[in-house]
Amino acid sequence: MRTKALSGKHLTGYPVYGYKQDPNAKGVWIVDEEAAEVVREIYRLCLSGYGPCQIETILNDRGIDPPAVHQRKNGINNRGNTTYWGKGIVGKILSRMDYLGHTVSCKTFHKTYRDKRSYNLPKEDWIITENTHAPIVDLDIWERVQRLRESTKRKPTLMGEMGPLNGLLWCADCNKRLRISRDHKAKVRYYVCGTYMRSRTGHRDCSIHSTPLNFIEPLILGEIQSITAFAREREAEFVALVEKTHQQTADTELRAVRVELDKSNNRISELNRIIKRIYEDNVSGRLSDERFDSMLKDFESEQAALRERVGEITVFLETEREKSSNIQRFLGLVKKYTDVSELNAEIVRVFIDKIVCHQAIGRGNARSQVIDVYYNFIGLVKEP
């Protein structure tokens, strides 16, 4: 089975929902257009702000056959017996890499041949073979859905509201999400710091960071319209500005990170020499077994922590090197969404990664507040 997986072959008895077997080639998946359109609609609904529970209700209300029923109707021997959509089915569809055109195998294992139970493997141990069949979902859409589902469940508030910015606003001081609230006397809705709201004592662990909806939503729409127009009409200037911004913010951090990387690698090599030396001392009798075990445990623990940190730094440096390609991906979004006339959940999540709100200063007409908008792929862009 593992050999077949490494060669990119499918191990399942039947294709995942959205695909069917090619009648002219055994083991080859082709797109089932009827089911594929349902898969695309599920991703569109997720980007529009609907969660799995809401999506399942929509699909059931529309009378769309769930995967097991649809596949049986089309001659696929799906052993499932579910006759309705459920949040688990929707959630699985929203997480599958198969819809990118990749074959994903060996996600579970059996401890022994006698053990019939399946155990989950960590994602880094999966066997993923790319581009084995036609994709149904674009990479950008799939990645945005994964970020959205990881960052927030986006449930409606107690007032039944689910604004387009829900789950994206963060406190600049405590790094917690801002939650929607309402001033019933003034009939004003606004976002406030989650830490401030959770306090059940007289002492507040963070300030309120009050951000009115009638202020933040038009502001974000204007920012999106402004940066997309800038990128579309003056592309070369936009690319130069993004690169300059990244360079200014990353130079100091990159220097510090590279120094830390060198120190960590040198310390790992030094620990290897120390471990070898204490082993020789233990063999020769100069170091007791008890002392040797204690020292070895400490050194190996330090070495493991250093190796983990080296991995983190390496990933960070690789991410910095990918910044130029990320700019092109953002420009691709700009060309795809040419007319941004209203603020909705899909548009917000297409362009924005997060919004950081600082504590406002002053009151009334003298009130001012700093809002940092971090865009997908390019991060925070500081205008000249």
Q: Is residue 164 part of a domain?
A: no
Q: Is residue 156 part of a domain?
A: no
Last-in-domain residue among 119, 151, 183: 151
Q: Taking the CA of residue 6 as centre, how many other CA atoms within 13 Å lie in the half-sphere pointing to its CB?
A: 4
Q: How far is CA 115 from CA 36, 111, 118, 122, 301, in A?
A: 36, 6, 8, 19, 34
Domain match, 337 and 309 both:
no
pLDDT digits (tens, 9 = 90+) for 78-95: 766 778 899 899 999 999
Domain match, 205 and 284 both:
no
Last-in-domain residue among 94, 121, 151: 151
Domain match, 137 and 93 both:
yes
Domain match, 45 and 81 both:
yes
Mean of pLDDT values over 279-301: 91
User: DSSP states of 308-320 as a string?
Assistant: HHHHHHHHHHHHH
Nearest to 349 by CA among 180, 204, 152, 193: 152
pLDDT digits (tens, 9 = 90+) for 33-67: 999 999 999 998 888 778 888 899 999 999 999 99
Domain match, 224 and 368 both:
yes
**What rounded mean pLDDT belongs to the chain?**
83
Domain match, 358 and 225 both:
yes
Q: Is residue 160 part of a domain?
A: no
Assess whether pLDDT exceeds 90 at residue 372: yes
Domain match, 321 and 348 both:
no
Q: Is residue 353 part of a domain?
A: yes
Domain match, 299 and 326 both:
yes
Name the domain count of the chain.
3
In which domain, by residue range, is 85 found? Answer: 2-151
CA distance 43 to 36: 11
Nearest to 356 by CA among 137, 228, 234, 176: 176
Q: Is residue 67 part of a domain?
A: yes
pLDDT (0 to 100) of residue 358: 93
Q: How far is CA 163 from CA 179, 222, 343, in A?
A: 11, 17, 10
List the single range of 54-58, 118-122, 138-142 with lowest mean pLDDT.
Answer: 118-122
Last-in-domain residue among 151, 183, 215: 151
Domain match, 221 and 362 both:
yes
Domain match, 210 and 94 both:
no
pTM above 0.85, yes or no: no
Q: Is residue 158 part of a domain?
A: no
Domain match, 40 and 99 both:
yes
Nearest to 354 by CA among 155, 169, 194: 169
CA distance 221 to 227: 10
Domain match, 16 and 142 both:
yes
pLDDT (0 to 100) of residue 154: 47
Q: Is residue 245 part of a domain?
A: no
